[in-house]
Structure 1
Amino acid sequence: MDLSLGLAPTKNKSSNEEQGAFPRHSPAQRLRLEEIFQTIKYPTNKQKSEIAEELGLQPKQVNWWFTYKRGLVKNATQKEVNAAFRAEIQMLLEEKREMERQNRVSCQACRDSRLKQLRLENELLKEKVSWIEHVEVDLKIQTHSMYRDIVNNAIAFGAERWLMELRRIGERCGSAALEYMHFYDNGVITLPEGRRCVMKLAHQVLKEFSKNLTMSSKSDLPQYIADTDDSGVRFSIPKNRNLFLSNDPFIVIVASSVSLPLPSHTVFDFLRDPARRFEWDKFCDGNPWHEIAHISTGTHPNHYVSIIQPLVSPPKDGVKIIQECFIDPLGSYVVYSPLNTQELNMAINGHDLSNVSLIIPSGFLISEDSKSLSKDSKSRGSLLTVAFQMHMPAPLITNFESAADASNALMTTVVQSIKHALLSGSELK
């Protein structure tokens, strides 16, 4: 486009002036004007006069040229900006279409189709894969008659059990690795790091509970091991190896198993419910409890860690309970431990509590009772194992018989309370 705004000089000067037109700039004039424009975009009146005198132009011609040149530059810049905006909008639209396409691909129907395909592939693999199970059992340790069928039928140690355990650990690790809160999660825990710390603390409680169930005769005080056939209560008094965390030198562990004519999931739902905890836990003083935090540890809604406290008059700086629940076709558990509120709040805020001051795990293991199954029954009975741990100072352990009587009384009370709550008014009582 020609940047000149006048007309080339003509002999008929009077005619041009009458029409208000300016002579067209010569190539040399335009080149010089372009050079000046690179350094001066808005010349003053004095600069315009100097430029006009240098190029043999009128000041009005110079003013007009600079005004028009600035307009061209502005329009060109605006076109570039508009083009950039259009390109960005187009890119956003393409991203939106791609997200919509991916959503359509990952819709529920497509996921179901993919799941069916995976199941089909799994069935095909079963013709090509053989499981070899090898279990070594110490014959010196006699399995209790209540659990003999579970052990002999490979329910306790078979491949299916190990696969389910691997799945449990995998889902738990996956849940801990999430950088956002699961839609099942709720309560006072709002940070992913806090969720991980609380899950780690609950896992520590679960590990300590599992250790308590292995009442080996190789304890520090083998004479303090009892297994009373008439009461069905077993307890031991090992030494506390973590004296730097607790001043009590001894731990009392008491456990018992009982058969219930109810499906295992019914027993599980009852024991995990904080609102009904007072029906078997004497420390609730007859008051219901409730959840203040809920963390999912797997895909099943009943795989979770929770923090519970009394519904009425909760302690500000006292003790709350951390509890973990899990259920699968081969069994379930509800494990818990009271914890200091201050330390629990630290875990909620994302602080690692590897050396928590005191963990006193207790809980329940629930499995199906194969003996209670008949061909006409609609549901199996269940086997319930109850285990408690208590830290006791040395003066209270000096009398072995008194400790045994107290442990037996505690376990009997809890078991009877559970039976009464579950079977009261039931024809299965």
Structure 2
Amino acid sequence: MFKECPHPDEKQRLQLSRELGLAPRQIKFWFQNRRTQMKAQHERADNCALRAENDKIRCENIAIREALRNVICPSCGGPPVTEDSYFDEHKLRMENAQLKEELDRVSSIAAKYIGRPISHLPPVQPIHISSLDLSMGSFGGQGNGAPSLDLDLDLIPSTSNLPFHPLGISDMDKSLMTDIAASAMDELLRLLQTDEPLWIKSPTDGRDVLHLDTYQTLFPRAVSRLKNPNVRIEASRDSGFVIMNSLALVDMVMDANKWVELFPTIVSVAKTLEVISSGMMGSHSGSLQLMYEELQVLSPLVPTREFYILRYCQQIEQGLWAIVNVSYDIPQFASQCRSHRLPSGCMIQDMPNGYSKVTWVEHVEIEDKAPTHRLYRDLVHSGMAFGAERWLATLQRLCERFACLMVSGNSTRDLGGVIPSPDGKRSMMKLAQRMVNSFCASISTSNSHRWTTVSGMSEVGVRVHKSTDPGQPNGVVLNAATTFWLPVSPQNVFNFFKDERTRAQWDVLSSGNAVQEVAHIANGSHPGNCISVLRAFNSGQNNMLILQESCIDASGSLVVYCPVDLPAVNIAMSGEDPAYIPLLPSGFTISPDGHPDHGDGASSSSNTHGSIGRSSGSLTVSFQILVSSLPSAKLNLESVTTVNNLISTTVQQIKAAMNCPSS
């Protein structure tokens, strides 16, 4: 019957149930499972064919390289030098990264069968180097004879203790984790579905506030951490509609890499440490993972929050999913985490036309061992910095962006008379997305990112790292960032930076000249959510353009940009893979002040609280510059002074343009 009709209607299912003596529901699920199995078989066959083709191409690639290596230049007798050596190197690095990823995937699959992890690389002996005093104080005065600081940055070990290898969890531990996850799911469902008296409306801004006495009555814990005076509770709940179906959302949440891609402004690092259960019948229902994640606010003044969590997914009914996160203490890393996540997560319900209704709960205990910076104290302590409202607003905006990425519409303006094709539009959006993700990683205070602090004592923090990643210029990169308060509404600040007519007042890339938007791609319902290509007039660099993405929602806004040459933009506009185009992004993050207020928000949520239409906010300015592309990494006082002066001058220009006091 399946061969003849893989999608039987209700009448055919009833006929089968009578003939086989099975319930119609059993017949329905059997056909669903069979279709899933057939799809998986076809995908495996396709993967095998693609892998064979990939191996064939790789062999041809190696043969061509060997042939080129043996070519002799008739003039000098040596090997010829290609003009595209810079991009060739990036392509090789990209291919190397893909091969490593493929090797890791094959090793993990093999490890499941032999019962232990496979070490496919020889162990690397740790390199110990003495700590370097690179604070601003060590530079002394402004003398011209300041010595260079020779840094072999590849030797600087990562300060993160994150375990990237399997932890060797016993069956007893897995059983305990399963019980903890099931209990956390029960608690989350009650938090999601219960209103008063568990949740009450805040009289100031209308947000859902957890009533702690009722909570402790309903969920008594054996050991209460609330007796610690340094422990503070943050609890929030919000709901709204998202333009993505439930299955796609669940898939992104349960994949650590997609999780970072979905929330680049919130999730700094995410890693699956162990898969406790992979789910049932090829779906994520019943999937349980032990994960590590760091959450961030895009400012160097706010430290990241580290969590070791269990993430558990359960399908409640057809088209309704729940995903819970709850902290799990790993003994060897327990001292690192000052944050403890109580049962938190979301419920995702399918709605018509490809939408989903998402209800989000965030519930954490924070141990404040250091005072929060005054600029972010209200935002953090109100729960808005890491709360459900920010998660949901970001999710709504990013899902709109993904929807625009998949739709080929006439939402683009032309570049030099050439209207980008649908593939060109998608390529430009992917390039801009990589730019934004790189910018967020450069601001993050996470120890897991490969930045070494050069100066963090003054108002401007300077960090350095040696870039060798695909899609970034090779060499030593300096990053400078600072945050300051502006007595101007965040909406007006965002409009100021997005308006190309005011760009000459602050942008050094335009050299004080006017700029023109020569290409425009909308990526959301709000007009501020878009990608632009800008050209500066009379700059003397007719071949240089500026790629910019701006985005705004109820939790804040971003304006990120970087210089890109015209040939690279043409490559992306033509629909080619933009992964090899080097980017070094700079930009601005605009955060509300956290004071309860009402205004015209940018969120598409039904709630108006959390609006960025406030009277003041914090602005973070971040610049990246390439110090040197030479193999030897040298850092000197002039480089640090240059980036300090650049960011200080920009801050003064911004304050002057907005009639703000310079102090």
CA distance in structure 2 between the partners assigned to 1:278 and 1:221 by the alignment: 31
- Per-residue CA distance 1:364-396 (angstroms, 9 max, x = gap): 00112246979xxx9511210000111111789
2:548 aligns with 323
Question: Out of 509, 512, 518, which is 1:286 matched to?
Answer: 512
TM-aligned CA deviation for residue 180 of structure 1 = 2.3
**What root-mean-square deviation, in Å, do the aligned CA atoms of Structure 1 and Structure 2 show?**
3.1
2:655 aligns with 419
1:367 aligns with 591
Indicate yes or no: 2:423 matched with 1:193: yes
Contact map agreement 2:505 2:654 (CA 8 A) in 1: yes
Counterpart code for 1:414: T
1:206 aligns with 436
CA distance in structure 2 between the partners assigned to 1:143 and 1:239 by the alignment: 31
388 and 212 in structure 1: CA distance in 2 versus 1, 3 angstrom threshold = same
Question: Out of 151, 161, 164, which is 2:380 matched to?
Answer: 151
1:242 aligns with 469
Counterpart code for 1:359: L
CA distance in structure 2 between the partners assigned to 1:397 and 1:418 by the alignment: 33
Indicate yes or no: 2:133 matched with 1:133: no
CA distance in structure 2 between the partners assigned to 1:134 and 1:400 by the alignment: 46
CA distance in structure 2 between the partners assigned to 1:130 and 1:175 by the alignment: 23
What secondary structure is seen at the aligned counterpart in 2 of 1:354?
A: helix
Counting matched residue pairs gives 289
Contact map agreement 2:471 2:579 (CA 8 A) in 1: no
- Per-residue CA distance 1:321-372 (angstroms, 9 max, x = gap): 110011122211100111121011111111121121x201000001122469
Indicate yes or no: 2:641 matched with 1:405: yes
Indicate yes or no: 2:536 matched with 1:310: yes
TM-score where L is the length of structure 1: 0.61
- Per-residue CA distance 1:259-298 (angstroms, 9 max, x = gap): 0111111111111122221111223222110100110101
Indicate yes or no: 2:621 matched with 1:386: yes
Counterpart code for 1:172: R
Counterpart code for 1:345: N
Question: Out of 478, 481, 488, which is 1:262 matched to?
Answer: 488
Contact map agreement 1:181 1:191 (CA 8 A) in 2: no
Counterpart code for 2:585: P
2:400 aligns with 171
Contact map agreement 1:305 1:323 (CA 8 A) in 2: yes
CA distance in structure 1 between the partners assigned to 2:559 and 2:450 by the alignment: 28
Contact map agreement 1:319 1:338 (CA 8 A) in 2: yes
2:347 aligns with none
CA distance in structure 2 between the partners assigned to 1:131 and 1:221 by the alignment: 33
Indicate yes or no: 2:568 matched with 1:343: yes
Structure number with larger C-alpha Rg: 1
Contact map agreement 2:451 2:464 (CA 8 A) in 1: yes
Contact map agreement 1:321 1:336 (CA 8 A) in 2: yes
Counterpart code for 1:361: P
Counterpart code for 2:463: S
CA distance in structure 1 between the partners assigned to 2:596 and 2:515 by the alignment: 33
Question: Out of 351, 354, 360, which is 2:579 matched to?
Answer: 354
Counterpart code for 2:530: Y
CA distance in structure 2 between the partners assigned to 1:416 and 1:407 by the alignment: 14
Contact map agreement 2:360 2:392 (CA 8 A) in 1: no
What secondary structure is seen at the aligned counterpart in 2 of 1:132?
A: strand
CA distance in structure 2 between the partners assigned to 1:265 and 1:134 by the alignment: 29
254 and 366 in structure 1: CA distance in 2 versus 1, 3 angstrom threshold = same
More divergent stretch after superposition (133-142 vs 196-205): 133-142
130 and 389 in structure 1: CA distance in 2 versus 1, 3 angstrom threshold = closer
What secondary structure is seen at the aligned counterpart in 2 of 1:365?
A: strand
- Per-residue CA distance 1:227-285 (angstroms, 9 max, x = gap): 124xx11110112132896342x110000011011111111111112222111122322
Contact map agreement 1:297 1:305 (CA 8 A) in 2: yes
TM-score where L is the length of structure 2: 0.40
What secondary structure is seen at the aligned counterpart in 2 of 1:133?
A: strand
CA distance in structure 1 between the partners assigned to 2:627 and 2:524 by the alignment: 36
CA distance in structure 1 between the partners assigned to 2:539 and 2:620 by the alignment: 31
CA distance in structure 1 between the partners assigned to 2:395 and 2:406 by the alignment: 16
TM-aligned CA deviation for residue 315 of structure 1 = 4.5
TM-aligned CA deviation for residue 226 of structure 1 = 1.5
1:334 aligns with 559
1:19 aligns with none
Higher helix share: 1
Long gaps (5+) in structure 1: 1-117, 119-128
254 and 383 in structure 1: CA distance in 2 versus 1, 3 angstrom threshold = same
CA distance in structure 1 between the partners assigned to 2:538 and 2:557 by the alignment: 29
CA distance in structure 2 between the partners assigned to 1:244 and 1:192 by the alignment: 22
221 and 311 in structure 1: CA distance in 2 versus 1, 3 angstrom threshold = closer
What secondary structure is seen at the aligned counterpart in 2 of 1:283?
A: coil
- Per-residue CA distance 1:383-429 (angstroms, 9 max, x = gap): 100001111117897455433322221111000000001117x9x99
- Per-residue CA distance 1:293-323 (angstroms, 9 max, x = gap): 110101111110010011347854x221110
TM-aligned CA deviation for residue 141 of structure 1 = 7.4
138 and 246 in structure 1: CA distance in 2 versus 1, 3 angstrom threshold = farther
CA distance in structure 2 between the partners assigned to 1:162 and 1:310 by the alignment: 36
Counterpart code for 2:659: L
1:296 aligns with 522
CA distance in structure 2 between the partners assigned to 1:423 and 1:148 by the alignment: 25
